[in-house]
Amino acid sequence: MRSVSNGELTASLERALVRELVTEWRRINAAHFRESLAPPSIVLSTRTSQLGLWVPDARAIELSRAMILAQPWSVVVEVLKHEMAHQYAHEVLGAIDERAHGPAFRGVCERLGIDPASSGLPAARTTHDEATTRAVERIARLLALAESPNVHEAEAAMAAAQRLMLKHNIDLQARAQRHDYDYRAVGIPSGRVEESQRILAGILGKHFFVEVIWIPVYRPLEGKRGSVLEICGTRANLDMAEYVHAFLSRSCETAWTDHKHAHALRSNRERRTFQSGVMSGFAGKLARETKRHREEGLVWVKDGHIDVFFRKRHPHVRNIRYGGNPRSDAWHKGREVGEKLVLRRGVGHAESAVVSRGRLLR
C-alpha cells in the first residue's frame, strides 16, 4: 500500500508506538485470524512510497512512520490488517508462488472484511445510486426548511426529514438487494467517553440506520490510548449520521456556553451533567417521533447483511453498562434544551465538510 507526509517521534514515544502496534497485531490475530499467525517483527519504515509491506524473508511487517503520524489510528489498523492478510496468505495458506494480491490474498480479505486495495489509503466512498441521491437531496431541502424562525415550521420540517429517511430505508429493504456498506470514525478520539457522547452514539444507532461501536485508538504523539466512535452502514446513512453527530456535538457545546453565561456560572463543574441532559432530551424527542411512525405502519426491519458486515469488522463485541450523571437541576435544564433542539442545516466547519463530501446540502 502507498503513502503521504513525514513526522518525528522521540525515542521513548517511538518505543511506545511499536509496543502498541504489537498489541494491536495480537488483538487482530486473536479476533480475525484465530491466533493462527506467528508473531512477526513490527518495523517503522521511513518509506513514503508505501503505507505498509509484508517482508516474507525477514518475517516482518513494515509500516510507514509518516502514515502513522498523519492518519487516524483507524487507518493505521486497516493497513496493519492488510499486511497481516498477506502474512496469512503466505505463511498459513502457503501461497508463496502467487502474485502479492492474488486469489488467496483476496479470498482472505473478502472473508475477513479487509480492504484488499494495493495502493491508496483505506477510504469510504460516497457515490450513491439515483434513488438514494434523490432522497438525500430531498432530505437536504427539508433540513434547510428546519432553519425557519417559526418553531412549528422548523419542527415540522425536521419531522418530515426523519420520516423521509425512514421511508427511504424501508424502500431499500423492499428491493431485497445487497447494499454497499462502509464504516467511518466520527468525532475526536478521547481518553474518557462522556455520558453525552454515549447517548449521542445511541441516537445514531437507534434513529439513523447505522451500527455503532466504540473502538480503541492510540495517539502516537501523546503516547496515550483512547476511544473513538465508529459507525457502519450504507454510504448515504453514514453521511447523514456523521452530519448529525457533528451538528449535535456542536449544538451541545453551544447550549452549555449559553447556559453558563445566562446563569453566570464561573466553572464547568456541571457541564457533563447538563450536556447529558441535552442529549437525553433530544433522544426522547426522537423516540416520540419513532413511536408516531410505528403507529402509521412505518417500521424499519434491519437488513441482515449489515450484521454480516459489522461482524466481519468486529468479530468479538462486548457490551458494557455505565452509570450516568446525577439527574440534578442542571440535567433537567439540559433536557429542556434538548427537547427543543431542531436538527437543521449545519453552519459550522465540521458540518459543512460533511455536507460537502456527502452532497447532503449545497
pLDDT digits (tens, 9 = 90+) for 244-277: 899 899 999 999 999 999 999 999 999 999 999 9
pLDDT digits (tens, 9 = 90+) for 177-210: 556 789 999 999 998 899 999 999 999 999 888 9
Contact between 211 and 222 under an 8 Å Cβ cutoff? The reply is: no
Q: Cell numbers of 249, please?
A: 456535538
Q: Is the pTM for the entire model greater than 0.85?
A: no
Q: Residues 304-318: what's their mean pLDDT?
A: 86
What residues pair up with 53 in beta bridges, in sequence order?
62
Burial of 276: CB neighbours in 10 Å, binned 0-12, 13-18, 19+: buried
Distance CA 328, CA 183 (A): 37
Task: Calculate the alpha carbon distances from 199 to 10, 116, 322, 350 in Å.
Answer: 38, 34, 11, 20
The string of DSSP codes covering 42-67 is: EEEE--SS-SEEEETTTTEEEEEHHH
pLDDT digits (tens, 9 = 90+) for 93-144: 998 878 878 999 999 999 998 988 865 566 544 455 565 666 666 666 655 5
Q: Which residue, among 213, 318, 337, has the nearest Cα to 273 in the 3D structure?
A: 337
CB atoms within 10 A of CB 129: 14
